[in-house]
């Protein structure tokens, strides 16, 4: 079972930096994430989701490949590629894997203008090393919601608020 953690930040840049740090830790096999989305609220008030993987583009590429292949069978690869890319893009656009986009958009409406949140769906992690990697964000974020255990959530909150390890739990 995966754990959901949503961390709010007063500015967008910090949320993107935190996601980049988590992606780096994933390359080092310290954390395995199903999804990591940055939610931003623009000064005009609009909410935007910044996914790690663009499903629309991935669907278009995949659909274009399969459309070309099927088009070759019917001696018209260009029409097959165009139809496949269109169908793949539509399929990717309608797909929602990981964290529910509607929930993140509702959360984004409650962010202060210019603020951001990082939603992470964690499959598994080496908690002590991940917390160590997040220490550079001390004093910059706040855990808004999490499905972690109380102890793990308290440790994460302590790291983000810059509290000493012994005082956290």
Query: DSSP labels for 77-144?
Result: HHHHHHHHHHHHHHHHHH---SS-HHHHHHHHHTSPTT-EEEEEEEEEE-HHHHHHHTGGGTTT-EEE
Say whether both 83 and 121 belong to one domain: no
Residues 102 and 154 grouped into a single domain: yes
| Pair 120, 49 in one domain | yes
Same domain, 83 and 112: no
Give pLDDT tens digits for 107-132.
888 888 888 999 988 889 888 899 89
The model carries a pTM of: 0.69
Express each pLDDT in 23-42 by its tens digit.
999 999 999 888 889 999 87
pLDDT, residue 39, reads 92
Let me know whether 102 and 164 are in one domain: yes
> What is the domain count for the chain?
2
pLDDT at 21: 93
pLDDT at 147: 77
* Residue 157 lies in domain: 3-53+98-168
> Last residue of a domain, which of 64, 94, 124?
94
Which residues, given as ranges, of the chain have pLDDT below 50?
54-55, 166-169
């Amino acid at each position: 079972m995966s754990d959901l953690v949503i961390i709010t930040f007063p500015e967008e840049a910090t949320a993107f930096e935190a996601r980049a740090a988590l992606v780096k830790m994933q390359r080092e096999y310290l954390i395995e994430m199903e999804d990591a989305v940055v939610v931003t609220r623009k000064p005009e008030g609009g909410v935007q989701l910044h996914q790690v993987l663009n499903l629309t583009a991935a669907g278009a590429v995949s659909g274009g490949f399969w459309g070309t292949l099927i088009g070759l069978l019917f001696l018209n690869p260009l029409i097959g590629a165009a139809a496949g890319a269109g169908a793949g893009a539509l399929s990717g656009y309608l797909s929602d894997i990981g964290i529910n986009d509607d929930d993140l958009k509702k959360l984004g409406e409650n962010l202060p203008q210019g603020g951001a949140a990082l939603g992470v769906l964690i499959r598994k992690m080496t908690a002590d090393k991940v917390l160590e990697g997040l220490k550079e964000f001390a004093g910059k974020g706040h855990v808004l919601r999490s499905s972690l255990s109380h102890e793990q959530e308290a440790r994460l909150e302590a790291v983000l608020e810059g509290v000493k390890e012994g005082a956290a739990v």
